[in-house]
Amino acid sequence: MNRTLFVILLITTTGLMGSSFAVGKIGLEYVTPLMLVALRFTIAGIIMALAVKVLKRPHPAEAKEWGKVVLVGSLQTAGVMGCIFLSLRTITAGESSILTFTNPLLVVVFGTVFMGMKYRRVQWLGVIMGMAGVFITLGASLDIRQPGFFLGLMSAVFWSSATLVMKKWGNSFDTWVLTAYQMLFGGIILLVVSSLFEPVKVVITSTSILIILWLAIMASIVQFAIWFYLLQKEDPAKVSSFLFLAPLFGVLTGWLVLKEQLHLYTVIGGSIILAGIYLVNKPQKKVPERDAA
């Protein structure tokens, strides 16, 4: 792939990931948190489910396989996104994005504890740096007694859990089909939870409609489409190593759009987190094989 095109697509997809925090924060003025994220992913899931059906992508054939898709949707969409949007009620978009995108660090920890995975020293160094960065970034500004702090961390826990589940089951599904239906099932779960556990508010204005459509189409469908395209065209390890750009865009859009304060310790701690995530995702150098004598 042309280098310029690769950079443009990479910035676009990670920028959409990060900017969704600020856009979601604005959306909370019109729609209650769980309903907002439920509408986002139900709409996105319906559109993508229709697309994969029309394109005749291979669908799961057994109820057991559909159950796995529902579990992924419960973790990746309902768990992650539900916690993110709830956290935005009490913490900033930048803080929420930083907490959420510590998930690659938790993947190393959970993978070791629960799945017996082996990781390199540089990856463990990345985990230590990332956790130190979280302490520096949030320790001076965020009250850990705030519900948003716990919810932001829980979004990372759900995301890392979903990642490990995908490592185990992902190869048995068509990527586009799994993405479509996990969003749809996760959105439906959130619709039910919202109806049962929050006083639902939906203020219909041109702004609120635009926000919901932006989150559903640009920040979900387009973002996923570009991300999967890059994973198919380039080395997945190389592409994934740039995921650390997303929390950077989350902090920057919170600063630009919502006028959230950008402190020096936020920049320093955030930089350490980004470096840690890079080390966790850094691909191992291949040692060239020697020719036989």
Q: What is the pLDDT of residues 86-111, one digit of tens each?
A: 999 988 888 888 888 888 778 888 88
- The pLDDT score that the predictor gives to residue 292 is 45
pLDDT at position 32 over 60: yes
Reported confidence tier of residue 249, pLDDT bands at 50, 70, 90: confident
Q: Which of 105-119, 177-191, 217-231 has the highest mean pLDDT?
A: 177-191
Region 157-182: what's the mean pLDDT?
86
pLDDT at position 251 over 90: no
Cα(62)–Cα(58) distance, integer angstroms: 12
- The pLDDT score that the predictor gives to residue 135 is 73
The residues, any chain, with a CB within 8 Å of residue 248's CB and separated by 6 or more, are 18, 270, 274
Q: What is the pLDDT of residues 106-137, one digit of tens each?
A: 888 888 887 777 878 888 888 888 778 777 76
Region 57-62: what's the mean pLDDT?
93
Region 165-170: what's the mean pLDDT?
80
Token pair of 259, please? 């006028």
Mapping DSSP to helix (H, G, I), strand (E, B) and coil, where does residue 75 land? Answer: helix
Reported confidence tier of residue 264, pLDDT bands at 50, 70, 90: confident
What is the per-residue burial (b if ≥16 Cβ within 10 Å, else e) of 175-199? bbbbbbbbbbbbbbbbbeebeeeee
Cα(264)–Cα(257) distance, integer angstroms: 19
- The pLDDT score that the predictor gives to residue 138 is 65
With a pLDDT cut of 90, the percent of the chain lying above it is 42
CA triple 219-223-228, angle to 5 deg: 155
With a pLDDT cut of 70, the percent of the chain lying above it is 91
In contact, 13 and 223? CB cutoff 8 Å: yes
Pick from 15-24, 39-48, 199-208: least confident? 15-24
**Is the pTM for the entire model greater than 0.85?**
no
Q: Which of 80-89, 112-121, 241-250 has the highest mean pLDDT?
A: 80-89
Higher pLDDT, 32 or 1: 32
- The pLDDT score that the predictor gives to residue 293 is 41
- As a whole number, the mean pLDDT across the chain is 85
> For residue 196, how many C-alpha atoms fall within 13 Å in the half-sphere facing its CB?
6
Region 229-250: what's the mean pLDDT?
74
Determine phi and psi for 202, rounding to 5 degrees: -135, 105
pLDDT at position 211 over 50: yes
pLDDT at position 182 over 50: yes
- The pLDDT score that the predictor gives to residue 209 is 96
- The pLDDT score that the predictor gives to residue 140 is 58
- The pLDDT score that the predictor gives to residue 283 is 66
Reported confidence tier of residue 193, pLDDT bands at 50, 70, 90: very high
pLDDT at position 260 over 70: yes
Q: Which neighbouring-strand residues pair with 231? A: none
pLDDT at position 194 over 90: yes
- The pLDDT score that the predictor gives to residue 225 is 87
Residues in the chain: 293
